[in-house]
Amino acid sequence: MSGSNAGSSVFWRLTEHPIWVVSTSLLVIAWAAAGLSRLEKDTSVRAFIPTDHPSVVTEQSIEEIFGIGDAFAVALEFHNGKTVFDGEALALVEELTTALGEIDNVNRDRIASIGTESSISGSDEGVDVVPYVEDPVADTDTVLTRERWLEMPPHQSTLVSLDESSALIIFEVEDASRAAETYAEVLRVAHSISYPDVTLDVAGPAAVSAYLSQRIDRDAKLLQPAVFLVVLLFVYLAFRRAGATLCAFVIVAGTTIGAMGIMSWQGVAYYAITNALPVILVSVAVADAVHVMSHYYQLRAADPTLPVRSAVVASMEATARPIFFTSATTIAGFCGIGLASIMPPISYFSWYAALGVAMAWAFSMVTLPNAMMLLNLQPSRAFDSWRTSKPGAIGRSLLAASRFGVRHPVVVLGAFLMLAVVALGQATSLRFDRSQVENFDPDEPIRAADEFINSKFAGTSFLDVLVESSDPEGLLTTEAMGQIVDLQDFMEQQEDVVLTVSIADYLSLLHAAIENTAAIAPRELPDSSDAIKQYMFVYEASGDPTDFEEEIDASGSKALVRGMLNTLHFSESRKAVEAIQQHIDDTFADSALRVTLGGDVNTTYHWMTRLESSHFKGVGLSLSLVLILSVAVFRSIPLGVLAVVPVTLTVLLIYAVMASLGIYLEPATSMFAAISVGLGVDFAIHLIERLQRARSTEPTLERALELAIPLIGRACFFNILALGLGFSVLMLSGLPMLQRFGGMVALAAFASFAAALLIIPSWFSLSERMAKPVPGKRRAATTALALIAIAALTAGPELTHAEEATADWVAQQVANRAEATATRRVIEMTLTNRRGKVRQRQALVLKLIEPPGERSTRITFLEPRAIRNTSFLSHDRGGQSESRWLYLPATKRIRRIPSSDRGDHFLGTDFSYEDIQSDLKFDLDDYDFALGATADEGAYMLLGEPRSEAIAKELGFDRFAATIDAVSFLPSRIEFFESEDVPFKVVEVRKQELIDGYWTATEIFADHRRNRHSTLFEYSKVMYLEELDAQYFDPAYLERALPATLLVSQ
Amino acid sequence: MTRLKLMVLCGGLATSFAEAAVLESYDLNAKLAYAISTEGREQVQQAVTVEAEATVRASKTLLLQLGARFSFDAADVLRPNRDDERIFAHANRFNRRPAVGDSGEIEFRELFLEWQQGESRIRAGRQQLMWSSLDGVSLFAVNPSDFHEFVLNDETERQQPQWGLYFDFPVGSWRLESAALLDSSVHDIPDPGAWFEFTAPQFRFGAPLEQPTRAVDIETQLPDTIKDATYALRASRALGNTRIVFAGLIGNEYEAVGDLEQGAAAPVLTRTFPRRRLAKIGLETGAGSVVFRGELVGQFDKVLNTRDRGDLAVTEVDVLALGVGTDLNLPHDLFMNLQLLLERVRDAPEALVKPERNDLLTVTLQRPFLYNTLVLKWRWFRDLERGDSLSQASLNYSPSDTMTVELLGAWFSGSPRGRFGQFDRQDLIRLTLRYSF
């Protein structure tokens, strides 16, 4: 080893003082390790939202004003005909309530059950606030208790289930950080009480969070070291030298402890997803060490007389460049996620992962060569075959695989293309969703308990509304209370809101009690503000003055409306949040009251919607940055793109597998793609770099493969095996969350390696077959242009828009126009061309909206004969993706057809696909709305502009002006404009009818003025149905004739 | 006596069917085609074709489908020597096409009873099965084809219906289809003298180009209707956004294998149609403006000819074929279909008549104008191994819903040994007028 070039001279100098370098490195690691003691855990949901976000601010206000926090819930279910209103049952509830109240950390003032609460009733003396359970319990008249409970709607489905078979004890803790130990104590107390014919369940948001946090900690503590050990075991198997394993350990420990330690020193908390960080860093760090040491052992095997230092320097020389490239691209990948993410834990994860990769690179370049020298690594038996410069069995197998790619490039690339398309197709069904309890196995007691409580009671998910007045006692007025009651009524109309409770409920009960009549309807309030204030005073005199502190503050200016939801999924609760927020915006915009949403359901909503808006942007940015760096690294666009192809495939595959297994995209799983990018790109870069270098010296590609693949492939293979099997250890966890993490990352690692091993040689082979030399300057210019283009594409500014409430309200009303689940109608189409020539068609149209948000449309032509039985079918999955099929009787084939742009002509008419499939509605996400002037008093003029050029291009117009009927909210006329001031197309609803309660356009005319062509749709035999046979919408059966009953019945 | 009983039974069934029958729909279409060769300005086709179809329903679950085609070609260039080929291609007497004069014939296209209950369906009679998902080329052909107009017509037009039973029923999420075809028809290959006569060696048992077609006497041993029946099974289901298909088929070959023996006067070539076994995996999926479909077909122990210095022998080899295709909606209403078909004969002996590799690329570009009344289409077939190609451009105009005019040009190029190059001098332009009554 001469050390004549720049690289080797650097490494010669770096290895002059191995003891000093290794000692300094160990000191740095020790310093970082000291910071780990400062690590603070924050596994709360709220951590995922910036602290100044309105939902967090409201949540904190609610906590401060009403003292409400996450609750535990203990349910008692009585069997064999026993009900809660049984003497022994009530005694048990009371006993358990008392026992739970004595647990350390349980807030005794915040425990509620039928044993602690009171009913309100009227009497000759005024208002009676009487506890349900007497002291002693034996004095309780259970029949009377039941009657009083029946008169207290706020306590129904909350303290006792409606079927009276179950009772609930709800309580909060004083210190949320000790919730896990409190949970264990609650379980102990609950199980210590034995009573025949009763089952006890412990759940509630606080219990679920505590249990999850506890399980993650326990599993992570057990399994993360196991991952570490498995990885090191495979390093040992790869090199069969303890010294090599020790070197790898130093790099891995230095990287992991270093990055995590710096994170702690900087005061960044340890979030739930930070669990993944050490394992990622282990994998990246070990990869660098494996590559360097593989080269070292190969050199030592080929020439055992080579001095250690020379072999070390030569290995560093050979691997420094690819390791730098892989580190840079991995850092770029994580930076992309960090830049795009708006959730602090994900941002921190990405930045510290990037830092860790940089540290892994630094340790590999500086500490590793010195450690190798210090340990004086001797030749390894694992590399014996290299003595004759022949690779071992693994190297030969990998060579055979890559050779297949070189010999059959079209087959390999075609197969991967097919896989990519299939994966893409599958990935389109991936959805954003979250349910905390689904982090547990279905047979976990806490999951069963949570599901039981949600099924029996009003629910453990809370959507709170904070109502504030600027005046003291400003809420104790008939007007304010009326608005609160209206709000409660609206909330309870939402599908998943089971019950709402507010001070208005209790005032209504007081009203009934004071009037001493049963004729008062629920939530009926007195008609004078003074009466409301007096009722509050009366209650304070009759009952516990603190009873209402969860509903209204002492000044009477802040009240809480608590909505209880029994849904566990974000996808379901979001509908309620959006509808209620819209209602608040519409109703309280001009009110003196300030109304804001809070509660865990609202927090989850904001958390998930932020993820939804940023996830794909982050992955896209990450891939773009990796692409830019790869192009720069190889100074070649094709090679840069090639490096990104395997990892892109892997990301697609991950999405496809997630979609197939029904794994939602949520904060934890959203990291899979980022990790895949970080891990996957390395293999491709190593392979390309080595193959490119070998190709420059070897006469044929196959010779270059023989030189490059066995060594680099072997190194990558052991790296992947270590990673894959290491991560697979996480699948032993009892938590589906960790199982998924382990499984997906292992899959990503194997997929990236396999894709790189096959695709890269195939691409080299294909490109050589088709190669034409490109002049250097031209290539450089093309590279520069491409880099600029990529940068411009990724750095494009987001369009902003100003909303105008009234216009949005009109658009919302149009969007809210009711649609039936299933529709059958016949269309007479009349198409008139510029010469006045008329063509007519008749078609049967079937539409099914099931499940909600998914729309299937089938159009079967009845006339003319030439196209009879031609059928068109589309499945629109909530605007995310659309699939279409066409059956042409002449071809006897059902053909899947590609989707067109939404603005394209619909089956050769003047209507666009958007006109037909939107049912004359305007997608609220697509447009900025404004209101224009109209002479028609019974109509609104709604103006809309697509929110981006891409949407405008897809829709085929720049703006529209729609006259909206103020009664039906059907547009009576829509004018579509491009750049000109005159519309190029006008759609008119010439006739509208109210059929079965649905406003229906029965005659629509589209006049394409630019083409001087028009289409008239006349609908007849319109029938709204509760259901239609799903077979009519199954593409496999599109060739079947529709039953005559569908055609003739009215 | 048996025949009498059968006639009585059929008569009885027909009478009871007719009593309840209602004519549900009918179609009558006429086609006039006039084609000339671009090289010799020779008239290739002066044909009139009338197709009639009717659906007769006896009950909610039972219907009868009838379809017949009458064709008359005054030019007699595409399909000369009608008697010979009719016997060859349609050995089953129920398949024969009654001749009308020297240049006309009648063919029953479809004649089947269909029973449908829910998602299940049974068909009995003469019918077509289209089980290939690719366009213009079929890797998994259930029915044989008529190649007198080569591949210029649609697959349904050139595919030959067959007699048999077809069952279609769901099993869970799967759709299972099976067919038993009691029909010994084989490909209808143009005979010597026909415009599209296959002259390339691979279609003539490896006979060199210079060897005249009529140098040998030909004998044909057609498969037996019952013993050599074709059985096919297909299972398909949707998996998310993707439809996957598994299929298998056992039946007789549609392309002949030859055996050459010295006869009394001239050598005698005996053409036989051995059994074939096919298996297929296919899928079709899509995302946005892209649709992707692919098929992997394996034919096991396929009997093929080898030729060594004029001696014909047979060998058994496995043949694998992969077909991938994609449909793309491009900007400006442009539709593109790309297909790549790769076929490999495994462990092919050197003397094999069929080429070891058979790779084909097809590109289709289509653009509608004037609200789909005018459609321009260009289609290109390229044999990647031999470099020959077929370029086909058409302009389709529909002045009304009942009438369509099509102008089609087909240009062949390449070596006379290739599947397209053999027609290098057969370029033609065809004008077709279709009218629906």
Buried b (16+ CB within 10 A) or exposed e, A272-294: bbbbbbbbbbbbbbbbbbbbbbb
A594-598 and A461-468 strand pairing? antiparallel
Lookup: tokens for B178: 């099976």
Encoded tokens for A275: 């669990």
CB-facing half-sphere around the CA of A602: CA atoms within 13 A: 24
In B51-103, which residue ranges form alpha helices assigned H by DSSP?
82-89
Helix (H) or strand (E) holding A976: strand A971-977
Give the closest of B60, B287, B371 to A424, CB-based. Answer: B287
Read off the DSSP letter of residue A36.
Answer: G
**What are φ and ψ of residue B18, in 5° steps?**
-65, -30
Q: Which pLDDT tens digit goes with each residue over B10-24?
A: 777 676 666 667 888
The answer to whether residue B175 sits within a structural domain is yes
A898 and B286 in contact by Cβ < 8 A? yes
**Mean pLDDT (whole number) for B364-370:** 93
CA B123 to chain centre: 20
pLDDT value at residue A43: 64
pLDDT, residue A829, reads: 93
Specify if B24 maps to a domain.
no
- Residue B2 covered by a domain: no
Task: Assess if residue B18 is contained within a domain.
Answer: no
Q: Which of B364, B413, B356, B355 is nearest to B387 (CA)?
A: B413
Q: CA-CA distances (angstroms) from residue A180 to A97, A214, A720?
A: 19, 6, 37
What average pLDDT does range B175-185 have in this prediction? 92
Strands A41-42, A270-271: parallel, antiparallel or unpaired by DSSP? parallel
Which chain A residue has the Cα nearest residue B402? A866
pLDDT computed for residue A124 by the predictor? 67
How far apart are the two ends of chain A, measured CA to CA in Å?
Answer: 92
Contacts of B285 in chain A (CB under 8 A): 421-422, 425-426, 896
Q: How far apart are CA A981 and CA B301, in angstroms?
A: 70
B131 occurs within a structural domain: yes
Closest by Cβ to A900, choosing from B156, B243, B329: B329
Specify the CATH number for the domain of residue B153: 2.40.160.10
Residue carrying structure tokens 């993410």? A341
In a domain, B8, yes or no: no
What pLDDT score does B18 carry? 66
pLDDT of residue B249: 96
Considering the domain boundaries, does residue B150 fall inside one? yes
- The rounded distance, in Å, linking the Cα atoms of A1000 and A998 is 6
- Chain B, residues 87-126, CB within 8 A of chain A, namely 116, 118-119, 121
Give the per-residue pLDDT at B252.
92
Q: Which residues of chain A have pLDDT under 70?
A: 1-9, 43-46, 123-126, 272, 385-392, 516-520, 541-545, 678, 771-805, 878-881, 1047-1050
CA distance B210 to chain A (A): 35
Among A470, A579, A482, which Cα is nearest to A523's? A482
- The packing angle between helices A308-340 and A368-375, to 10°, is 150
Nearest Cβ partner of B401 from A414, A422, A839? A839
- Inter-chain touch B371–A1013, beta carbons under 8 Å: yes
Give the C-alpha separation, A136 to A121, whole Å: 21
Q: Is the pLDDT of residue B70 over 70?
A: yes
A positions 631-670 inside 8 Å of B (CB): 659-660
Rounded to a whole number, what is the distance in angstroms from the first to the last CA of chain B? 44
Give the pLDDT score at A2: 37
Please determine, for residue B279, whether its predicted confidence score (pLDDT) is greater than 90.
yes
* Identity of the amino acid at A610: R
CB–CB of A896 and B243 under 8 A? yes
Of B242, B401, B436, the CB nearest to A422: B242
Q: How many domains does chain B have?
A: 1
Q: What distance in Å separates the CA atoms of residue A56 and residue A837, rounded to the nearest whole number? A: 64
Q: Which residue of B has its CA nearest to A1014?
A: B371
Q: Check CB contact under 8 Å for B290 and A421.
A: yes
Helices A308-340, A6-14: crossing angle, 10 deg rounding: 100
Q: Which long-range contacts (CB under 8 A, 24 or more apart) does A196-199 make?
A: A197/A78, A197/A79, A197/A80, A197/A82, A198/A76, A198/A77, A198/A78, A198/A79, A198/A82, A198/A89, A198/A92, A199/A76, A199/A77, A199/A79
Q: A805-1048 in CATH: which number?
A: 2.50.20.10
Q: Are strands A939-946 and A959-965 parallel, antiparallel or unpaired?
A: antiparallel
| A394's tokens | 């693994």
What are the boundaries of each domain within chain A?
805-1048
A802 touching B, CB under 8 A? no
Confidence category of residue B89, pLDDT binned at 50, 70, 90: low
Contacts of B400 in chain A (CB under 8 A): 839
What pLDDT is recorded for position A800?
Answer: 32
Question: What ipTM, to 2 d.p.?
Answer: 0.89
CA-closest candidate to residue A293, choices A278, A281, A308:
A308
Specify if B15 maps to a domain. no
What range defines the domain where residue B44 resides? Answer: 32-436
Regarding beta strands A126-131 and A118-123, do their DSSP bridges make them parallel or antiparallel, or are they unpaired?
Answer: antiparallel
Contacts of A422 in chain B (CB under 8 A): 242, 283, 285, 292
User: Would you state the pLDDT for residue A999?
Assistant: 87
- Is the model's pLDDT at B380 over the cut of 90? yes
CB contact under 8 A, B401 and A833: no
Q: Which residues of A touch B370 (CB under 8 A)?
A: 833
Query: Does the pLDDT value for residue B315 go beyond 70?
Result: yes
Determine whether the interchain pair A865/B27 forms a contact, defined as Cβ–Cβ distance below 8 Å: yes
Instruction: Transcribe A118-179 into DSSP letters.
Output: EEEEEETTEEEEEESS-SSGGG--HHHHHHHHHT-GGGBTTTB-TTSSEEEEEEEES-GGGH
Mean pLDDT of B236-253: 91
